[in-house]
Amino acid sequence: MGESRYERGLAIRKEVLGEAHVERSLQNATDFDRAMQELTTEYCWGTIWARPGLTRRERSMINLAMLSALNRPEELAIHVRGAIQNGVTPEEIKEIFLQVAIYCGVPTGIESFRVGRKMLSEMGLI
């Protein structure tokens, strides 16, 4: 029998976000929020991220813009790491955040740069 959508999603999620982060997220899940972890793994990662229409690099770039626009700094931080893993450069991340600032507002851009600088610094890339 073939790989389940959940199994495929779990593998992709670990490849993009890192095994330690994903394992920690799953282990910290409670009866209250475990279903959300499973839903995210199966549908976000196992369905959308597994589709052939865009590369992981392209998906990462889109996520950086959307998470910035939605002002989701915790998720943005995780996806900055994932974007680097998927081949997005710090220079490209900078350009994405500049575009966000123009289309979504300067305060949104400033917060995106703040999160990006912290993550890229922790990764030793700036």
Q: What is the pLDDT of residues 11-24, one digit of tens each?
A: 999 999 999 999 99
Q: Which residue has the higher pLDDT, 99 or 2?
A: 99
What is the rounded average pLDDT for all residues in the chain?
96
Residue 124 gets which letter from DSSP? T
Where along the chain do the CATH 1.20.1290.10 domains lie?
55-126
Q: Is the pLDDT of residue 2 over 80?
A: no
User: Could you tell me the pLDDT band of residue 1, with boundaries at 50, 70 and 90?
Assistant: low
The pLDDT value recorded for residue 3 is 81
Please name which of 52, 124, 44 lies closest in space to residue 84, comparing C-alpha atoms. 124
Please name which of 64, 21, 67, 68 lies closest in space to residue 41, comparing C-alpha atoms. 21
Give the global pTM. Answer: 0.91
Task: Report CA-CA distances (Å) from 99 to 6, 62, 76, 80.
Answer: 34, 12, 15, 16
Tens digits of per-residue pLDDT, 21-64? 999 999 999 999 999 999 999 999 999 999 999 999 999 999 99
CA distance linking residue 39 with residue 25, whole number of Å = 13
The pLDDT value recorded for residue 102 is 98
Number of neighbouring beta carbons within 10 Å of residue 58:
13
CA of residue 65 relative to chain centroid, distance: 10
CA distance linking residue 95 with residue 40, whole number of Å = 28
Tens digits of per-residue pLDDT, 57-81? 999 999 999 999 999 999 999 999 9
Which CATH architecture fits 55-126?
Up-down Bundle (1.20)
